[in-house]
Amino acid sequence: MSTVVLGGGLAGLTAAYALERDGHGVTVLEAQEAPGGACRSFAEDGFTFDLTGHLLHVAREETRQLLEELGLWEELEIHERRAAVVIGGRATPYPVQINTWGLSDEVRRDCLLGFVRAWCQHGEEAAPADFRRWVLGRFGEGLARHFFFPYNEKLYRVRPEELSLDWVGRYVPKPALEEVIDGALGLHRNRVGYNALFRYPRRGGIALLPDAIAGRLRCLEPGNRAGVVDTDARVVETENGRRFSWERLIATIPLPALVDRLRPKPPAEVLEARRALRWVSVLNVALGLEGLAPTDQHWLYFPDPQLPFYRVGFPSNHGDLAPPDCHTVSIEVSMDPGAGDPQAMAEAAERALEAAGYLDRSRILVRRTAILDPAYVVFDHARSGALAIIRRELAGRGVLLAGRWAQWVYSAMEDAMLDGLAAARQIIGAEGA
Ligand SMILES: Cc1cc2nc3c(=O)[nH]c(=O)nc-3n(C[C@H](O)[C@H](O)[C@H](O)COP(=O)(O)OP(=O)(O)OC[C@H]3O[C@@H](n4cnc5c(N)ncnc54)[C@H](O)[C@@H]3O)c2cc1C
């Protein structure tokens, strides 16, 4: 049985690796000249840049086993997160809801009072209708106004009431009243949240992961962008005119692009659902600079609506990514797909970061801008219904989906690898049955 995998990012590579390991025929079609997708790294003048910060969180034993099998586990150094939220020019540790001690008295008072009021007066609604109601009920008015609303509006480019709650479970730490009060007084320093610890390659960038998998594959076809995906004929035609037949198909390319490529053309209901999918792109401005980094933090969150970026990383604080006495900075700006002038936006972001005190532009040695598109799925109220329609259509055509953008979710590198393994298992299991 032959399988074609669309996309050679972590999900596609892992699926192909598991299939080949089991003796199955498989071909990975990757649009770019190098595999890795969002986990590629770029070397320039002694600096290494990832496509924004890519830090590995390993929660599952299966992931650890895979990384060991690939000879990667010992190459990944463990780090304790150093991240902060900057509000009103003052930085306090992330997550802000249990660390307001570093903020101004006025902001801290707002946050504490709002939290206590929400806790005492309303409690949490059993089933809040949207992200706005959920934040107000759980964190209160102060934290909503100073952090949750402006940060998420800047990242997702929609109002908080336009967001559903389908994504918050794992990514937003939920504190108890005691933790919030202790956090206002600076009484604890607990590790909180899914990303309190992370792993990162001792040498080089995050591309170590996809490169290690790709290096073991016999079947990688880089520079081959899937154009038409004909599920009746079971053939993929690439944009450069090649044809690949399959008995099984795993798609890891972004869901809207996959639907656009389907033949026969999907019914109107599916096309309408595809049009309902919303996402944002991210402009990444990666800088290599001489001198020491302006902070020892790994990354900073910036909810302030006046600042163009939502997050800024200092990757050389956790990786061997810069020459001696140099450092790297990674600025992330959320944007509507295809909109705006990236160069002007990059320039504005640099200037704003310099004004905020975290960048000295006169010391920039290397500058690299990139756009991740799609970057974040927007979990608006239309998403889950539209997704169900599209997934039903694809399941009916026998297409397996794996990875962050094919599944149209908010997920991480570990999930992409586990998705790849799961898709391979489905094929191996079906053939064994
Ligand atoms: C800003 C940002 C920061 C992130 N930070 C982290 C982090 O710190 N830690 C973490 O664990 N995760 C992080 N992630 C998530 C992580 O990047 C993804 O979960 C993971 O890389 C998804 O891998 P994938 O294989 O599903 O998708 P991709 O990496 O996108 O792979 C899909 C591949 O398909 C290819 N492709 C597209 N169209 C076609 C076509 N028509 N034909 C052939 N090939 C095609 C692409 O070139 C790409 O290589 C971050 C994501 C973003 C956007």
For 164, phi then psi, to 5°, come to -85, -175
CATH code linked to domain 96-184: 1.10.3110
Q: Choose the CATH number for 41-81+195-205+279-377 among 3.40.50.720, 3.90.660.20, 3.50.50.60, 3.20.20.140.
A: 3.90.660.20
Residue 176: pLDDT band with limits 50, 70, 90:
confident
Q: Which atom of ligand 1 is nearest to the CA of 258?
A: 41
pLDDT at 230: 98
Give CA–CA dist 214/220, Å, rounded: 7
186, two tokens? 């600076």
Give CA–CA dist 135/303, Å, rounded: 15
Domain 2-38+207-277+380-432 fold is FAD/NAD(P)-binding domain (3.50.50)
* Positive or negative: CA dihedral 244, 406, 32, 280: positive
pLDDT at 348 over 70: yes
Q: Which residue has the tokens 């994504």?
A: 167
Residues with CB under 6 A from ligand 1: 6-12, 29-32, 37-39, 52-57, 225-226, 252-253, 257, 282, 332, 372, 375, 403-405, 411-414, 416
Q: Which atom of ligand 1 is nearest to the CA of 411?
A: 19
Residue 431: pLDDT band with limits 50, 70, 90:
confident
pLDDT at 1 over 80: no
Tell me the CA–centroid distance for residue 11 and ligand 1, in Å.
8
Helical axes 413-432 vs 61-69, angle rounded to 10°: 90
Give CA–CA dist 293/174, Å, rounded: 32
Query: Across all residues in the chain, what is the average pLDDT?
Result: 94
Question: How many C-beta atoms surround the C-beta of residue 341 within 10 A?
Answer: 9
User: Which residues is 93 bridged to in the sheet?
Assistant: 84
3-state secondary structure at position 394: helix
pLDDT at 166: 86
Tell me the CA–centroid distance for residue 119 and ligand 1, in Å.
39
Does the pTM surpass 0.75? The reply is yes
Tell me the CA–centroid distance for residue 412 and ligand 1, in Å.
9
Q: Which atom of ligand 1 is nearest to the CA of 55?
A: 8
Q: Would the CATH topology of 2-38+207-277+380-432 be identical to that of 96-184? A: no
Residue ranges of the domains in the chain? 2-38+207-277+380-432, 41-81+195-205+279-377, 96-184
Question: How many C-beta atoms surround the C-beta of residue 344 within 10 A?
Answer: 9
195, two tokens? 């990303």
Tell me the CA–centroid distance for residue 108 and ligand 1, in Å.
37
pLDDT at 128: 84
Q: Which of 4, 5, 10 to mutate to test the pocket of ligand 1 (most atoms within 8 A of CB)?
A: 10
Q: Which residue has the tokens 């990944």?
A: 76
pLDDT, tens digit, for every residue of 275-306?
A: 999 999 999 999 999 999 999 999 999 999 99
- Which amino acid belongs to residue 147? F
Pick the residue whose CA is nearest to atom 49 on ligand 1: 37
